[in-house]
Amino acid sequence: ETCTVHDYVAPPHILSKEVTDKEVTWSIGDYTEPETVWSSFQLKTPIPPKVGVAPNQPSPFEEQSGKIWKVWSVLFFLLLFLQILFLLLSQNRLVYQNAFAFHQADVEKARVTDIFELTGRPSNVIIESRANVDNSWIYLNLALINEETGNAYDFGREVSYYHGYDGGESWKEGSPSDEAIIPAVPSGHYYLRIEPDAQVREMNYSIRVYRDVPRWTYFFMALGGLLLIPLMLWSRRRSFEYRRWAESDHPMVSTKEDE
């Protein structure tokens, strides 16, 4: 005798239809954990390990997902609150700006800016450089120096911009502006020492100094870390569904035999 079986699944329920030449039989069942069966029949033998995933076995991650999403939401809004707080508390202030001219013929090319004040808690300083480069470059050897202590932050930045045509298509490389970030600079009176060098005879460039500028880098890094949580949850739920459908006539992935 042969029998054709159709299973309709909505975990933990399963509705089965068995069709033979003589009759059609319907049956309904619920998934029961082995521990419940052993306890109901008061069995003393060890419970054998599970093999595979039953067609109507509920995903253990469904119940966890609600709790995980609640925790994730709390962490996300906490992160967003902290970022907004930093935005509100940041000075984001322009403390110095000036324009300069570079001449290759000058004996002394170095420049020293006027003294400017950095106030508040130790925070970042952003130095923005801009030059009228056009298929050329200028290198700025910079130092942010504390007038009282003499402590210096030395660094160099290149501003370069090139463009043209190649094979009938336009291309460009670089930018006429650049910015350098110095983190956690204490308050005090500072000035900049600028030593420029360029491949052209003359060039104009400008410097702007900003104090305590809010940054989004750490926010997006933390957000990326938070996104790993739902991604891992989705991956584990997906893996469970793959295994639950493995013995179906319509698995979620085709087997080598089907190919």
Q: How do residues 69-79 score in pLDDT, each as one tens digit?
A: 899 999 999 99
Residue 2: pLDDT over 90: no
Q: For the packed helices 217-244 and 60-89, what is the interaxial angle rounded to 10 degrees?
A: 170
What pLDDT digit, counting tens, does each position of 87-98 carry? 898 989 999 999
d(CA 127, CA 184): 14
Q: Average model confidence (pLDDT) for the chain?
A: 90
pLDDT computed for residue 80 by the predictor: 94
Give the closest residue to 57 by CA, choosing from 208, 240, 198: 240
d(CA 123, CA 153): 14
**Stated pTM of the model:** 0.66
d(CA 245, CA 259): 17
Segment 20-42 mean pLDDT: 91
pLDDT computed for residue 250 by the predictor: 79
Q: Which residue blocks in 90-148 are alpha helix, DSSP H? A: none
d(CA 127, CA 142): 10
What pLDDT digit, counting tens, does each position of 124-147 carry? 999 999 999 999 999 999 999 999
- The continuous run of DSSP H or E covering 142 comes out as strand 136-146
pLDDT computed for residue 256 by the predictor: 47
